[in-house]
A and B are shown apart, each in its own frame.
Chain A
């Protein structure tokens, strides 16, 4: 089937998609999408769980997801619980001679702030706490109503913000940072990892899972204000 033909099809050219007629949660029509990397138009279809690659440049055009609302929602709730644990429990403690220095996740950020490095402290706070937290809360705010076939007020701009913030959530990089810091201090003192470190490790996987089980083109069709 040619692309020109696909564009003529009822759902091709950004026509509003009637979600009400869809029996399953993730039923989706055949779509035509432009490749984000090379602008090639390609029809993407296939079984839930399949990945469409751009035939010209090899970029991922679209990954169709199974249970595209329930899964990210479950991971988001799980993430919020882990966030609460990570923020309230001891993070790392250092024991050297008679001294014990205990820290929480936010101690380092507060220290940078005290050294007048406001920009740096703010950057660490945003990339490791603020943005991931915002993404989880935002997803829950959008997906819970969608599950009940409702649209949350302001869902469209919020979903756009979640999309833009994706690159700036860097919790997995922070985990590697913990590892490097531990090795660096290993000869100087003994470091006791707290509950928050474990929670953070799990949280990294859970946030990644929440974002990768999400099906943005499908959510956009359901949020379409013209519908």
Chain B
């Protein structure tokens, strides 16, 4: 390796997002990868604006997702609405703290941490920080990796709705929070996908 790190961009090359072919930027001008036909961009287009828009939408949806009921249980004439948090508390009281931990981490902690990390990364690249680029890249990889696990609660609702259908005795219906919650997961996944971690490194290369 040469002493100074060389990025594809600094050599005038564009790496295709889909098939990773390196294309000279001059050829990339007309837009399509000669090998796979994907649109070519040195960096994801408008990545900061897109990520902000998706994150703000996710943050707004996060409120009804936690306040409104996730499931509505009717059993022998009584109706009970459960939010995500009341489900966690129920599991703590009934002694299954492992399940309580799974739901708390997947449904409350991960979406919040994801929002916080992505906002932090966006602010850091907009303020052109040079601070610990490697660690910030690792943070980005973590959000990409764990985001999907938040879908657990949506699947639990799907299974409960299918199973608990005993007419007047007991039935469970999906509450409005299920939709908001699924939206939060999808929006944060899209936000992570539209953020381009390579811009963390661009500032550092411009210095050297």
- Establish whether residues B169 and A99, one from each chain, have CB atoms under 8 Å apart when the complex forms: yes
- Contacting B at CB under 8 A, from A23-59, are 32-34, 36-42, 55-59
- Contacting B at CB under 8 A, from A6-38, are 7, 13-14, 32-34, 36-38
Which residue from B99, B140, B166, B170 sits with its C-beta under 8 Å from A37?
B140
CA A216 – CA B160 in complex, angstroms? 38
Q: A38-B200, A41-B7, A117-B178 are in contact. Are A181 and B163 (CB under 8 A)?
A: yes
CA A105 – CA B2 in complex, angstroms? 55
Contact residues in A for B9 (Cβ distance below 8 Å): 39
Quick one: CB contact mask for B22-39 with A, threshold 8 Å, 1 for yes?
111000000000111110
CA A183 – CA B134 in complex, angstroms? 40
Smallest beta-carbon distance B24→chain A, Å: 8
- Establish whether residues B163 and A41, one from each chain, have CB atoms under 8 Å apart when the complex forms: no
Selecting from A66-74, A140-148, A152-160, A204-212, the interface stretch reads: A152-160
- Establish whether residues B140 and A173, one from each chain, have CB atoms under 8 Å apart when the complex forms: no
CA A111 – CA B157 in complex, angstroms? 11
Which residue from A13, A111, A112, A120 sits with its C-beta under 8 Å from B165?
A111
- Contacting A at CB under 8 A, from B143-189, are 144, 148-149, 151-156, 158-167, 169-170, 173-174, 178-179, 182, 186, 189
Smallest beta-carbon distance A192→chain B, Å: 11
Q: Is B102 an interface residue (CB 8 A)?
A: yes
- Establish whether residues A111 and B162, one from each chain, have CB atoms under 8 Å apart when the complex forms: yes
Q: Is B141 an interface residue (CB 8 A)?
A: yes
CA A112 – CA B178 in complex, angstroms? 11
- Establish whether residues A123 and B182, one from each chain, have CB atoms under 8 Å apart when the complex forms: yes
- Contacting B at CB under 8 A, from A170-202, are 170, 173-174, 176-181, 183-185, 187-188, 191
Smallest beta-carbon distance A178→chain B, Å: 6
CA A50 – CA B167 in complex, angstroms? 57
Smallest beta-carbon distance B167→chain A, Å: 8
Q: A37-B197, A37-B198, A177-B155 are in contact. Are A3 and B22 (CB under 8 A)?
A: no
Contact residues in B for A99 (Cβ distance below 8 Å): 166-167, 169
Q: Is A133 an interface residue (CB 8 A)?
A: no
- Establish whether residues B138 and A173, one from each chain, have CB atoms under 8 Å apart when the complex forms: no
- Establish whether residues A185 and B155, one from each chain, have CB atoms under 8 Å apart when the complex forms: no
- Establish whether residues A37 and B137, one from each chain, have CB atoms under 8 Å apart when the complex forms: yes
How many positions in chain A have a CB within 8 Å of any CB in the partner chain? 72
Contact residues in A for B5 (Cβ distance below 8 Å): 40, 56
Q: Is B13 an interface residue (CB 8 A)?
A: yes
- Establish whether residues B23 and A14, one from each chain, have CB atoms under 8 Å apart when the complex forms: yes
Contact residues in A for B161 (Cβ distance below 8 Å): 108, 111-112, 115
- Establish whether residues A180 and B99, one from each chain, have CB atoms under 8 Å apart when the complex forms: yes
Smallest beta-carbon distance A172→chain B, Å: 8
Contact residues in B for A97 (Cβ distance below 8 Å): 169
- Establish whether residues A117 and B155, one from each chain, have CB atoms under 8 Å apart when the complex forms: no
Smallest beta-carbon distance A26→chain B, Å: 17
Which residue on chain A has the smallest CB distance to residue B43?
A: A39
Contact residues in A for B140 (Cβ distance below 8 Å): 37
Which residue from A2, A36, A117, A226 sits with its C-beta under 8 Å from B35?
A226
Quick one: CB contact mask for B1-27 with A, threshold 8 Å, 1 for yes?
110011111010101001111111000
Q: Which residues of B contact A (CB under 8 A)?
A: 1-2, 5-9, 11, 13, 15, 18-24, 34-38, 87, 91, 94, 96, 99, 102-103, 106, 133-134, 137-138, 140-141, 144, 148-149, 151-156, 158-167, 169-170, 173-174, 178-179, 182, 186, 189, 193, 197-198, 200-202
**9 residue pairs A–B, Cβ–Cβ below 8 Å:** A2-B1, A14-B35, A39-B198, A109-B158, A117-B179, A181-B155, A181-B163, A183-B99, A185-B163
